[in-house]
Structure formats: structure tokens, C-alpha cells
Amino acid sequence: MSKVTSKLQLTLPKRLAEQFGIKPGDEVEFQAAGDCIRLVPAGGPASAPKLSREERLRLFDEDTAWQQAREKRMPEPTAPYSGRGWSRAELYDREKPR
């Protein structure tokens, strides 16, 4: 865990800096993310490979074929889904727990 100094500076844990390829002198960007703050290395994540359009399309086609083959291996449902056995209105009619 890091502390904020009186000059509003932070210390980034070494394992996170190494994981994301952040070195002394690198620029980072702070982004508001709802009730959190996101720290983004300038230039994007170091671990993201730079793929050409053709390579991305090839990988997409491979994954699509894999998913279609997986869906064919999955068993068909034996009976159609008949609901969960209760209605939303029944939730309000039940007795309250003691």
C-alpha cells in the first residue's frame, strides 16, 4: 500500500511497475473512473502486442471457428425452459423470516 506525500506524490509498488513496464521518468496518466482513479502508462499498456489488421482478423476467425465447434459439441436441452417456478409477485406474498 502506498501513502500520499504532503506534495501529493505517490510511490508505485515495484512489482506493478515491472508488470506494466513503467520506468523512472515515464509519463503516466490519471483518469477518473467512477469512484476510483485509474493510472494509465503513456502510450498504453506495454504488454499489448501490436497486431496488423490481417493478424487480428485471422485470430478472430480462429476463435469464431473454435466457438462454433464448441457449440456443436454441447448437448441440446432435453426440455424447453419452463421458468424458475415462482413469480416476482410471490416474493412479496411470502412470510418474512423471524
Whether residue 98 lies inside any domain: the answer is: no
The rounded distance, in Å, linking the Cα atoms of 39 and 29 is 6
Each of the 98 residues of the chain gets a pLDDT tens digit; together they read 788 999 999 999 999 888 888 889 889 989 999 899 998 887 765 555 678 899 999 999 999 999 999 999 988 877 777 777 777 777 777 666 65
Whether residue 56 lies inside any domain: the answer is: yes
Whether residue 93 lies inside any domain: the answer is: no
Whether residue 97 lies inside any domain: the answer is: no
Number of separate domains in the chain:
1
Residue 68 lies in domain: 10-72
Whether residue 21 lies inside any domain: the answer is: yes
Task: Say if strands 28-33 and 36-41 run parallel, antiparallel, or are unpaired.
Answer: antiparallel
How many degrees, rounded to 5, is the angle at CA 47 between CA 45 and CA 52? 95
pTM, full prediction? 0.40
